Amino acid sequence: MKLSDEIALEVDGLRMRYGTNDVLKDVTFRAHRGEVLALLGPNGAGKTTTIEILEGFRGRSGGRVEVLGADPPHGDESWRARIGIVLQSWRDHGKWRVRELLAHLGSYYAAYSTDKITRPWDTADLIEHVGLTDQGDKQVRMLSGGQRRRLDVAIGVVGRPEMLFLDEPTAGFDPEARRAFHDLILGLAASGETTIMLTTHDLAEAEKLADRIMILNEGRIVADGTPGELAEQFVGEDEVRWTLDGQRYVRSTRASTRFVHELFKTHGDAINDLVVRPSSLEDTYLSLVRKAESTHDPAIGAGVKEPAR
Amino acid sequence: MTPSVMVIRSGTRRGLIELRQAFAGFELINQLLWPVATLVAVFFLRDREFRDTGFELGTLVMPSVLGMFIALGMILVIQYLTVEREDGTLLRAKTLPHGIRGYFIGKLVTTSGCILVYLMILLVPGAFIVDGLRLGTAGSWLTLAWVLALGLVATQSIGSVLGALISNPRGAGVMSVPVMALIGISGIFYPITSLPDWLQAIAQVFPIYWLGLGMRSALLPDDMAAVELHHSWRHLETFGVLGAWAAIGLVLAPIVLRRMARRESGSRVAEYREKALQRVG
């Protein structure tokens, strides 16, 4: 995919401190228009804090942040109209009917149409797009968890945002709901008009949805790149196992193919039970998560509350 | 369409939709409970005479309870604000352009609408239950209109300030205790002149007494002013006290509400939810 030169999101040296506790230390990244960005990290890494700072809902201790050309806390109403936000799932507007709620929330955007973008998204069209046509006249509180989530996404995009934030959008989903949700996001991304940033602690999800993955750990971006780049830059060595004369061997190496070739050249048929296990991004990520969880000090998480699920 | 026209339209529409929801299905029973209970009380008071004055207690109480129901708008606003901050409605409004303004316009419409419906539920049958209400003159409706308007602004703006300061729906429940006590001493169900002076003094600081008095002045014959304090309807004082509360509310409410809205974020709502779950579990 060819990226636009236009920068939608720029974060430079972002810091966040609660009391004596640095939740974010020097977070730096940028996103081009139309890019899908996943912020990946274990619970308590500072993902929600980061995304709330970008949404303009939380102040920061230091650093420069620009979202669609504005500093979020000072973004005016017309800036707000270009931002879409999918919150973690709440219980708001339970008595409203789906169609009624989307039409109402969309009406706030009517004054912000441009030559290129007609706002809001037509209600009937949007309901069909997120697969809620049969639920249009249902009360919101009667929706299932997955339906409610699709409604949350619909609300997030009803103003046809140029920048869409999704915080842990699939937390608590069953696999089927997750797949449906992924298709929805990929569909939005395909237009290339909407820059999407989502947080998740699920690597597979990040790999599936994102053009670029950033891994946040202990308040720092520890990796940033396409899934392929990350595998290269960040990943350790492959593991080669074999037996020779009844003896078992294990060896870690970056050049596993060459190593195996040498092995056969030296020992020929004497090599048995050969296994080459390529190191994966997942291994590295999981070891990172494990490390974060084992050293997790409850005080560190205090400012980064993410709901237990 | 300019954004300010848009937000007034969206907010009003929001208020009307939620007004309809407030009187739909099961909610209707909830909503009718208090007005109907009040009517029953008025019914039993209709023939009792107040202290050999020749005035029937029911006739005195009927307009007074209208004033009380206007004051209840304050409780409604506090409940709405605490509940909807906790369930994320307010945060949702914050994600929209001009959403917070639309939200508050909506709340004003819903709450005022609810109160108007209560007043009609009370006044229409009430006019048949008690004798001597003065409903036929333009003057009484004019007085009713300005007392009502001032009362709605005063009680809802003060309610918004309190709602923003109270941290959860349980706090809103606690708030209704002093309000009930205040109703008790505000001459709604029995004339204030029967109370000790110091209680009379307290009651006259708050809007409930003046709303009751204003409604009585609108709907009762002028000679009934004889049973009031200073034997007068005291329109000037009514305007002064209600106006002062309205002014305080209108100055404070935007400041406090803006501060409250600024603090809302996804993780705060998650926090509310966790606390709410702890309360239930």
pLDDT at res. A295? 61
pLDDT at res. A304? 40
Q: A110, A210, A209, A223: which is closest to A158 by C-alpha? A: A110
The encoded tokens of residue A49 equal 């804090």
Distance separating the N- and C-terminal Cα atoms of chain A: 35
Distance CA A92, CA B88 (A): 5
Nearest to A108 among B18, B96, B270 (CB): B96
For chain A, what is the mean pLDDT?
86
Distance separating the N- and C-terminal Cα atoms of chain B: 49
pLDDT at res. B276? 78
CB atoms within 10 A of CB B230: 9
Render pLDDT for B103-123 as a digit per residue (tens, 0 to 9): 999 999 999 999 999 999 999
For chain B, what is the mean pLDDT?
89
Distance CA B113, CA A30 (A): 49
Asked if B258 has any chain A CB less than 8 Å from its own CB, the reply is no
Render pLDDT for A262-274 as a digit per residue (tens, 0 to 9): 999 999 888 989 9
Task: Out of A218-227, B77-86, B88-97, pick the least confident.
Answer: A218-227
Contacts B98 to A, Cβ<8 Å = 77, 108
**pLDDT category, A35, cuts 50, 70, 90?**
very high
Render pLDDT for B119-130 as a digit per residue (tens, 0 to 9): 999 999 998 888
Pairing between β-strand A238-244 and β-strand A163-167 as defined by DSSP bridges: unpaired
pLDDT at res. B131? 84
pLDDT at res. A161? 95
CB A127 within 8 A of CB A155: no
Nearest to A100 among B17, B84, B273 (CB): B17
Asked if B98 has any chain A CB less than 8 Å from its own CB, the reply is yes
Distance of CA A157 to the CA centre of its chain: 17
**pLDDT category, A308, cuts 50, 70, 90?**
very low
DSSP code string of B162-211 = HHHHS-SHHHHHHHHHHHHHHHHTTTSSS-GGGS-HHHHHHHTTSHHHHH
Pairing between β-strand A195-200 and β-strand A62-67 as defined by DSSP bridges: unpaired
pLDDT at res. A293? 65
Chain A residue nearest residue B101, CA to CA: A108
Distance of CA A12 to the CA centre of its chain: 19
CB B130 within 8 A of CB B58: yes
Render pLDDT for B3-18 as a digit per residue (tens, 0 to 9): 889 999 999 999 999 9
pLDDT at A37 over 50: yes
Chain B residue nearest residue A159, CA to CA: B96
Chain B residue nearest residue A308, CA to CA: B274
Is residue A187 classed exposed, middle or buried when 0-12, 13-18 and 19+ CB atoms within 10 A define those classes? Answer: exposed
**pLDDT category, A235, cuts 50, 70, 90?**
low
pLDDT at res. A195? 95
Distance CA A220, CA A216 (A): 5
- Interface-testing mutation among B16, B92, B95, with chain A (most A C-beta atoms within 10 A): B95
Contacts B7 to A, Cβ<8 Å = 108
H/E stretch holding A108 reads none
| DSSP 8-state symbol, A211 | S
pLDDT at res. A102? 97
Contact between chains at B6 and A107 (C-beta distance less than 8 A): yes
Whole-number percent of chain B with pLDDT over 70: 99
At a CB cut-off of 8 Å and minimum separation 6, what does A268 contact?
none
Amino acid at B179: V
Task: Out of A263-272, B8-17, B138-147, B164-173, pick the least confident.
Answer: B164-173
Contacts B87 to A, Cβ<8 Å = 90-92, 94
Residues of A with CB under 8 A from a CB of B: 48-49, 51-52, 55, 57-58, 77-78, 80-81, 83-85, 87-88, 90-96, 100, 104-105, 107-112, 155-156, 159, 167, 304-308
Asked if B275 has any chain A CB less than 8 Å from its own CB, the reply is no
Nearest to A58 among B1, B5, B265 (CB): B265
At a CB cut-off of 8 Å and minimum separation 6, what does A269 contact?
none
Distance (Å) from the C-alpha of residue B187 to the closest C-alpha of chain A? 37
CB B163 within 8 A of CB B80: yes
CB B14 within 8 A of CB A123: no
Three-state DSSP at A222 gives strand
Render pLDDT for B18-40 as a digit per residue (tens, 0 to 9): 999 999 888 888 888 889 999 99
Contact between chains at B6 and A111 (C-beta distance less than 8 A): yes
pLDDT at A172 over 50: yes
Distance CA A216, CA A16 (A): 14
Distance CA A172, CA A145 (A): 9
Contacts B94 to A, Cβ<8 Å = 57
Q: How many CB pairs under 8 A join A and B?
A: 105
Contact between chains at B94 and A57 (C-beta distance less than 8 A): yes
What percent helix, strand, coil does chain A show, rounded to 5? 40, 30, 35
Task: Out of A121-125, A254-258, B233-237, pick the least confident.
Answer: A254-258
pLDDT at A170 over 70: yes
**∠ at Cα A29 (A24, A35), nearest 5°?**
130
Note every long-range contact of B258-264, with CB atoms under 8 Å and residues 24 or more positions apart, other chains counting.
B258/B100, B259/B164, B260/B85, B260/B90, B260/B164, B261/B90, B261/B93, B261/B94, B261/B100, B264/A57, B264/B85, B264/B90, B264/B91, B264/B94
pLDDT at res. B274? 80
* Of A35-49, A248-262, B202-216, highest mean pLDDT: B202-216
Asked if B94 has any chain A CB less than 8 Å from its own CB, the reply is yes
Whole-number percent of chain B with pLDDT over 90: 51
Render pLDDT for B51-86 as a digit per residue (tens, 0 to 9): 777 778 888 899 999 999 999 889 899 999 999 988
Chain B residue nearest residue A107, CA to CA: B10
Contacts A91 to B, Cβ<8 Å = 87-88, 273
CB B41 within 8 A of CB B135: no
- CATH of A7-82+162-232+284-301, picked from 3.30.70.580, 3.30.365.10, 3.90.230.10, 3.40.50.300, is 3.40.50.300
Three-state DSSP at A202 gives coil
Contact between chains at A93 and B6 (C-beta distance less than 8 A): no
Domain residue spans in chain B? Answer: 3-280
Distance CA B67, CA B215 (A): 6
CB A36 within 8 A of CB A196: yes
Asked if B235 has any chain A CB less than 8 Å from its own CB, the reply is no
H/E stretch holding B3 reads helix B3-22
Largest CA distance in chain A: 79
Distance CA A180, CA A189 (A): 14
Amino acid at A182: H
Asked if B265 has any chain A CB less than 8 Å from its own CB, the reply is yes
Contact between chains at A92 and B99 (C-beta distance less than 8 A): no
* Of A2-6, A34-38, B224-228, highest mean pLDDT: A34-38
**pLDDT category, A135, cuts 50, 70, 90?**
very high
- Interface-testing mutation among A58, A107, A165, with chain B (most B C-beta atoms within 10 A): A107
Amino acid at A269: D
| Predicted complex: ipTM over 0.90 | no
pLDDT at A300 over 60: no
Distance (Å) from the C-alpha of residue B169 to the closest C-alpha of chain A? 15
CB B177 within 8 A of CB B114: no
The encoded tokens of residue B182 equal 């205040």
Contact between chains at A108 and B10 (C-beta distance less than 8 A): yes
Cross-strand bridge partners of residue A179? none
| DSSP 8-state symbol, A2 | P
Task: Out of A116-125, A143-152, B41-50, pick the least confident.
Answer: B41-50
